Amino acid sequence: MKKLILLLLLIHSSIYAIQFEDAVFPEIVTSSRALAMGNAFIAKVDDASAAFYNPAGLGTYRGKHFHLSNFQFETNKGWMETLFGGDVTGNAGDIFDALSLEGARKLLNQNKGTVSHSRFQMMPNFSTRYFSMGYVYAVQQRAFIGDQAGDQFEYAQRTDHGPYAAFNFSLFGGIVKIGATATYLFRKEAIGTADPAVALDLPDTAYNQGKMLFFTTGFRLTLPYTFLPTLAITSHNTGGTSFEQTGGPAAPADIKQTFDLGLSLTPQIGRTMRVHMELNYKDALGEHSNVDTIRKLGLGLEFDLRRIFYFRLGYGDGFGSGGIGIRTRKMEFDLSTYAVDTTDSDFRGQVDRRYVLGISSGF
């Protein structure tokens, strides 16, 4: 009987090829700056995204900022091919359709064999050194219809939102920094398959829904020597809290408690340029044991000119990344690209190239 149950579970789990990359990208909201650096960011982060990458990073936050228009849009090559069919000027009216499951189903029926991915997030916040508070909203969706007879419409959609507050404490003149973030997180999630020829209108009751108090904690040790060698540790879902069901057939799947490790050097080149080099190891204790260890390694490189212009390169999940950025007191702009491996456990299995636009403005 136990063998039969196990077999059924294996069959059920193998149905859904579409999934989320929580082992490599454990953050509730991502940073377009970090994604350009292979998501290797926990030893460097010094902006509002520190609340979710490493709250200890708030100890190096500069100034005070109130940003209402902090948003990020991300898509992949497959989404653009599905939407525009190779013509960026055409079919613009389908953009909003492509952001819904039903719209994605209709478009993918014309582009079978393509994985469509999109993510939109907003994080209005007030941040200063040692403290940040705001609200997060993030919705990500991916879908796929195979090009073989009988292939189903596979989909995954997740919406996260909730208020958060983050704090940082610096000790020994800033050599040691400790931080924590509390997020009252609401999650709504659906992962499944459907007939690609039939309109899909998932009712609210079909989504797994839940809420939880999600804690992110971080540590950073910066030695006061040349190149500022830094050790960083981040814990996601500190305490291992589970979702409390608020609707739908069940609560969302538990978020694993994971630890990320980071090492970095930041040499100064001349008077106006700094170079940041960072290595991160995601899920250091192996909670996501099905994901290849090499895929959890991230390498990041950032060239900083006058703290205004940035050029970034990285390596994460087995593939390269890069981007550019501009930062002023009132505005931050980032344009990045990165890639993920869409296979479950392979290393450099199936590449999914993605593009990210991040804009934050305020005062």
Q: What is the pLDDT of residues 172-206, one digit of tens each?
A: 999 999 999 999 999 999 999 999 999 999 999 99
Distances (CA, A) of 54 to 7, 39, 245, 305: 40, 12, 28, 24
More confident residue, 172 or 2: 172
Task: Find the mean pLDDT for residues 12-28.
Answer: 68
Distances (CA, A) of 72 to 33, 94, 332, 355, 357: 11, 20, 11, 11, 6
Domain boundaries, the chain: 2-361
Q: What is the pLDDT of residues 304-317, one digit of tens each?
A: 999 999 999 999 99
Q: Has residue 348 got a pLDDT over 80? A: no
Concatenate the DSSP letters of all residues of 311-329 into one string: EEEEEETTEEEEEEEEE-S
Q: Has residue 16 got a pLDDT over 80? A: no
> Could you say which DSSP state residue 352 is in?
E
Q: What confidence score (pLDDT) does residue 329 get?
A: 84
More confident residue, 64 or 350: 64
- CATH number for the domain formed by residue range(s) 2-361: 2.40.160.40
Question: Which phi and psi angles does 329 have, rounded to 5°?
Answer: -65, -35
The H-or-E segment that residue 13 falls in is: helix 2-15
Q: What is the pLDDT of residues 81-109, one digit of tens each?
A: 777 664 444 455 566 677 789 988 988 99
In this prediction, residue 344 has a pLDDT band, given cuts at 50, 70 and 90, of low
Q: What confidence score (pLDDT) does residue 6 get?
A: 36
In this prediction, residue 349 has a pLDDT band, given cuts at 50, 70 and 90, of low
> Sign of the C-alpha dihedral, residues 256, 334, 313, 117?
positive
Q: What is the pLDDT of residues 116-129, one digit of tens each?
A: 999 999 999 999 99
